[in-house]
Structure 1
Amino acid sequence: MSGIDLTSGEHEKARRMLQEDLIVWFTTVADDGTPHAVPVWFFWDDGKAWVFSQPDTVKVKHVKAGSRVVLHLNAGGEFGDDVVILTGSAEIDPRGAAGVLAGFREAYERKYAAAIADYGMPLEQIGETYSTAIAFTPEKLQAW
């Protein structure tokens, strides 16, 4: 991550939110400039945000076409003052969700245990349904 140091005091909140928040808004742009934003589960690992998706979604199409990506964590705090916005690039990982998950499966299951139970689908089935793995690499961070 060029220019982004999540260990600095200034970005401590961003690091915490990236590790703990369950939902991020994943925004891509179509060829005609139309933005497309969707809330997704994500996992922060080794300087990347990982998103698993069904293969035929708009976001996957946009990533394959080279769209820039913005990740926006939901504003928290009493007055919406916990904000983290990351801008960067994304690519489809050829290993797919199952291959990527092998690297952090236990941590992913801990993070999303309640959501997986509520969703009513075991992680293996989630990995099959949301089989496309998107690797987002941030280049710019805004946080306040």
Structure 2
Amino acid sequence: MADTQRRGRRIMMTPAELDEFLTARRTCRVATVSADGAPHVSTLWFAWDGKSLWLYSITRSKRWADLRRDPRVAVVVDAGEEYGELRGVEVSGSVEFVGEAPRTGEPHPELDAVERLFARKNFGLEEMPHDGRHAWLRLTPESTASWDFRKLASL
């Protein structure tokens, strides 16, 4: 067990690696708790602002209903196909609902920067297109775990 613990620390991403990885990746997997206690996992685009994951969710989704009832969530962002290339981050905590739901583009200073970031990253636009179906969830991680199996080659 001790060897596994030490290896885990060695393959963990540094804060700079973690920031770079989350900034570059586009898709995450969001795990929520359903009303009956069963887990529910769905895929979603996100933006990372250096301290929080911003999820742009459809407000008529099971994910949204789950989070309205219980804001606890775990999110995984990962990459790689072969074992030696696997890398990723799991963040968990409780989401906060930010802005109107659904989002129509009403002025909301807290969303200005994240909407520009999300629009550039996912749509190649300078301004966020609002469809009246999505709204923002902010996850400021309470817990973070990361791995980069590419580091195993040097162990």
**TM-score class normalised by the smaller sequence:** 0.7 to 0.9
**1:139 match:** 142
TM-score, normalised relative to structure 1 = 0.74
After TM superposition, list the pairs within 5 Å mapping 1:1-144 onto structure 2: 10-76=14-80, 78-79=82-83, 80-96=85-101, 97=103, 98=105, 99=108, 101-113=111-123, 123-126=128-131, 128-130=132-134, 132-144=135-147
Identity of aligned residues (%): 23
Tell me the TM-score normalized by structure 2: 0.70
Amino acid at match of 1:138: P
Q: Which runs of 5+ in 1 are unaligned?
A: 1-8, 117-121
Check the 8 A contact 1:64/1:91 in 2, yes or no: no
**Unpaired segments of 5 or more residues in structure 2?**
1-12, 148-155
Does the aligned pair in 1 maintain the 2:116–2:128 contact within 8 Å? no
Q: Could you say what the CA RMSD is over the residues aligned between the two structures, in angstroms?
A: 2.6
Aligned length: 129
Supply the distance in 1 between the matched residues of 2:142 and 2:67 (Cα, whole angstroms): 16
| 39-48 or 73-82: bigger deviation | 73-82
For the pair shown, the structure with the greater C-alpha radius of gyration is: 2
User: Which runs of structure 1 show a deviation greater than 6 angstroms over 4 or more consecutive aligned residues?
Assistant: none
The DSSP-based 3-state class of the residue aligned with 2:70 is coil
